[in-house]
Structure 1
Amino acid sequence: MIAVAGHDPLRIAARIAPFVGLLACVAVVAWGLRTGVLQSQENLRAFIESLGWPGPIVYTILSAAVVVFPIVPGGLLVISAPVLFGGLWGTVLNYVAVCAGSFVNFWIARRYGMPLIRRLFPEHIVDKWLSWTEHRNFARGFALAIAMPIAPDDLLCYIAGTTSMTWRRYALIILTCKPWALIAYGLGVSALLAKVLPW
């Protein structure tokens, strides 16, 4: 049974999590500036390399988890990967993490349905995108949204799991369309930030 909206722990956690994540990001930046890690790109890369092989693994797991439960805006991690690990390797890590998280979202929606989705996301946003599934070209529109960073694709992955879309078709869309959004958003924005940041 779903708890009353006002006292639903999951709903409350979903609303509070972005603020907690934002505070965590501010704390990490403050730590990086204080220790000198963020004073230059060379310092940042040296710190990442000092972490060894666990660094990329922890980053990938964290990025996948953020796709499932948005503690921080996923875009921040997508942008940071090319900066932390280089353009090619960062894009590969983004691809693995985002695809893995997207598959988990679809599975969760298939297993627990719309009631859980409405606990994780504001109802007016869910209703806005849910009506989109009634369109006969939903699969094409979904593929376009996944390929272009213009929609809340994490939510759309959940919603897709409540439709008649097969696992095979969903996997095909995610695996073939995700790279374009990651390249455009991750590499594009990170390259722009690299020119703006005083490094």
Structure 2
Amino acid sequence: MSTSTGSLPRLRADFPASAAAADRPDAGTAPPTRRDPLRLAAQLSPLLGLGVSIALVWWGLETGVLQSLENLQVFIDSLGAWGPVAFLIASAASVVFPIVPAGLLVIAGPVLFGPIEGTIYNYVAVCAGSLLNFAIARHVGLGLIERLFRPRTVEKFLGWTRSGHFTRAFAFAIALPIAPDDLLCYIAGTTRMRWRTYVAIILLCKPWALIAYGLGVSALVLRFLPW
């Protein structure tokens, strides 16, 4: 009798705590996960770039700057040195963080500044952005890359780094105008590739992609636009 009566108060004392835990709406559920702000910014940045591009086109049509190629080039010339400087900064920044797709600016270079000068500006800007990508990845590591790009896409190209021919494959991809250069440059920074090897690949292989894509597509744009 003494044993049963002694255990009864403990059962009564424990019951309210267990009942309260069961009545909580979040009982047995994991705490909500917070969204990564950097990944969210990377996902929304193309929409922001699209909005900025639409706003610039609307402004150009309203002001007459985009009414003809001559008007556009006169406007660029009126900016003086600020025109090329702004283009170089925007192009290099788009390689590091693609708010505006870098491919659009590569096409715009020859249209805005002419085929030779525009290609030179593209080369300087894209190479500068590519070198910065490598430096960022070398100091920050893979964690940042997985936050900026889709993990499945990152894992796909990480498979290249496990091959003994990664350097050759990387150089070939940089020379092509269709490869995801920004991501590949980031991933190269996480490998043991030497700086001098990377710089040589960028400086020697990048012109072929810029010439094929920038000059080729811009020539088609100028041909079919009603200017």
Tell whether the structures are fold-level matches, with TM greater than 0.5.
yes
1:190 — aligned with what?
218
| Deviation at residue 72 of structure 1 after TM alignment | 1.1
For 1:49-87, what per-residue CA distance to the aligned partner results, in whole angstroms no more than 9, with x for missing partners?
A: 000011101110110000000101110000000000000
In structure 2, do the counterparts of structure 1 residues 191 and 6 end up closer, same or farther at CA, with 3 Å as the change threshold? farther
1:33 — aligned with what?
61
Whether contact under 8 Å (1:5, 1:11) holds in the other structure is no
- Matching residue within 147, 150, 154 for 1:122: 150
2:18 — aligned with what?
none
The reply to whether residue 164 of structure 1 matches residue 182 of structure 2 is no
1:90 — aligned with what?
118
| Deviation at residue 103 of structure 1 after TM alignment | 0.5
- Write the mapping of 1:49-64 to structure 2, written as runs, cut at 5 A: 49-64=77-92
Unaligned runs of 5+ in 1: none
Whether contact under 8 Å (1:80, 1:190) holds in the other structure is yes
| Deviation at residue 143 of structure 1 after TM alignment | 0.4
In structure 2, do the counterparts of structure 1 residues 5 and 150 end up closer, same or farther at CA, with 3 Å as the change threshold? farther
Indicate the structure (1 or 2) with the bigger Cα radius of gyration.
2
Which structure has the higher relative contact order (CA within 8 Å, separation 6+)? 1
The CA distance in 2 between the partners of 1:145 and 1:171, in whole Å, is 15
For 1:124-162, what per-residue CA distance to the aligned partner results, in whole angstroms no more than 9, with x for missing partners?
A: 111111111111111011001101112101000000000
The CA distance in 2 between the partners of 1:42 and 1:112, in whole Å, is 45
1:108 — aligned with what?
136
The CA distance in 2 between the partners of 1:163 and 1:60, in whole Å, is 28
In structure 2, do the counterparts of structure 1 residues 183 and 6 end up closer, same or farther at CA, with 3 Å as the change threshold? farther
The CA distance in 2 between the partners of 1:127 and 1:46, in whole Å, is 46
The reply to whether residue 81 of structure 1 matches residue 109 of structure 2 is yes
Count matched residues.
196
Whether contact under 8 Å (1:17, 1:71) holds in the other structure is yes
Segments of 4+ moved more than 4 angstroms: none
What is the identity, as a one-letter code, of the residue corresponding to 1:83?
V
For 1:150-184, what per-residue CA distance to the aligned partner results, in whole angstroms no more than 9, with x for missing partners?
A: 21010000000001100000000000000000000
TM-score (norm 1): 0.96
Identity of aligned residues (%): 64
The CA distance in 2 between the partners of 1:140 and 1:98, in whole Å, is 20
1:68 — aligned with what?
96
| Deviation at residue 9 of structure 1 after TM alignment | 1.1
In structure 2, do the counterparts of structure 1 residues 104 and 33 end up closer, same or farther at CA, with 3 Å as the change threshold? same
For 1:13-61, what per-residue CA distance to the aligned partner results, in whole angstroms no more than 9, with x for missing partners?
A: 1110011001100110111111110010000000000000111011101
TM-score (norm 2): 0.85
What is the identity, as a one-letter code, of the residue corresponding to 2:54?
V
The reply to whether residue 9 of structure 1 matches residue 37 of structure 2 is yes
- Matching residue within 131, 143, 150 for 2:171: 143
In structure 2, do the counterparts of structure 1 residues 6 and 125 end up closer, same or farther at CA, with 3 Å as the change threshold? farther
The CA distance in 1 between the partners of 2:128 and 2:101, in whole Å, is 17
2:205 — aligned with what?
177
CA RMSD of aligned residues (A): 1.1
What is the identity, as a one-letter code, of the residue corresponding to 1:100?
A
